[in-house]
Amino acid sequence: MIVILPYESAVEQVDALVEDLPMECRPAEPVSDIKQMYNDKRDQYNTRGYVRHCSRAARTEGHLVLGVTGVDLFSAGHDFVFGSAQVGGHGGVISIYRLGEGEELRERMLKEAIHEIGHIVGLTHCDDSSCVMFFSNTLVETDNKSDGYCAECQKEYEELKLERIN
Ligand SMILES: [Zn+2]
Ligand SMILES: [Zn+2]
């Protein structure tokens, strides 16, 4: 089971994501966005605090946690990120801020979520640009990849899943 944690800025999108995700998951109670992670010079939120918060929530929930926020996230070395997670950790987060709207938003959100869940479970980036574990920092790259793991990543996911997902 993967717990999907809605931050208040993305609360309306989470039901669609839970419906679309191919892995067993359930939504948690919505929580406030993390005001302390706001950087007023950048007008963005630091993703590190979100990942930390989701990792802590994972302990309470007893399951791996993916947060979904609507605020614009940055991390060191990047102007923005679509998401972030601790590889082989317990939590990660995605932001829908830059993902557009409607059907496009729904598809991109699904890809970013499957990507970050892959990281939480223990997968690293994949060189195959059609694999969902390919690193994407533009919408074109996100749109060009599929919403599934390539054969190699899928195999690794299935193995890791046995020990990482309860
Ligand atoms: Zn990644
Ligand atoms: Zn792959």
Going from N- to C-terminal start, the domains of the chain cover 2-164
Distance CA 56, CA 33 (A): 15
Q: Which residues are catalytic?
A: 116
Q: Which two tokens stand for residue 5?
A: 């944690």
Strand partners, 7: 31
- Confidence at 148, pLDDT banded by 50, 70, 90: very high
Strands 91-95 and 64-69: parallel
What spacing in Å lies between the alpha carbon of 10 and ligand 2's midpoint?
28
DSSP assigned state of 93: E
Contact 62/166 with Cβ under 8 angstroms? yes
Of how many residues is the chain composed?
166
Query: Could you say which ligand is closest to the alpha carbon of residue 135?
Result: 1
Residues 71-118 have pLDDT tens digits of: 999 999 999 999 999 999 999 999 999 999 999 999 999 999 999 999
Note residues around ion ligand 2 (Cβ under 5 angstroms): 126, 128, 131, 133, 150, 153
What spacing in Å lies between the alpha carbon of 78 and ligand 1's midpoint?
13
| pTM value surpassing 0.85 | yes
Distance CA 151, CA 2 (A): 22
Query: Could you say which ligand is closest to the alpha carbon of residue 115?
Result: 1
DSSP assigned state of 85: E
Query: Could you say which ligand is closest to the alpha carbon of residue 128?
Result: 2
Q: Which of 65, 53, 123 is nearest to 90 (CA)?
A: 65
What spacing in Å lies between the alpha carbon of 40 and ligand 1's midpoint?
26
Q: Which of 80, 166, 67 is nearest to 121 (CA)?
A: 166
Distance CA 75, CA 47 (A): 6
The pLDDT value recorded for residue 68 is 98
What spacing in Å lies between the alpha carbon of 157 and ligand 1's midpoint?
14
Residues 15-68 have pLDDT tens digits of: 999 999 999 999 999 999 999 999 999 999 999 999 999 999 999 999 999 999
The pLDDT value recorded for residue 137 is 86
Contact 113/65 with Cβ under 8 angstroms? no
Give the CATH number of domain 2-164.
3.40.390.10
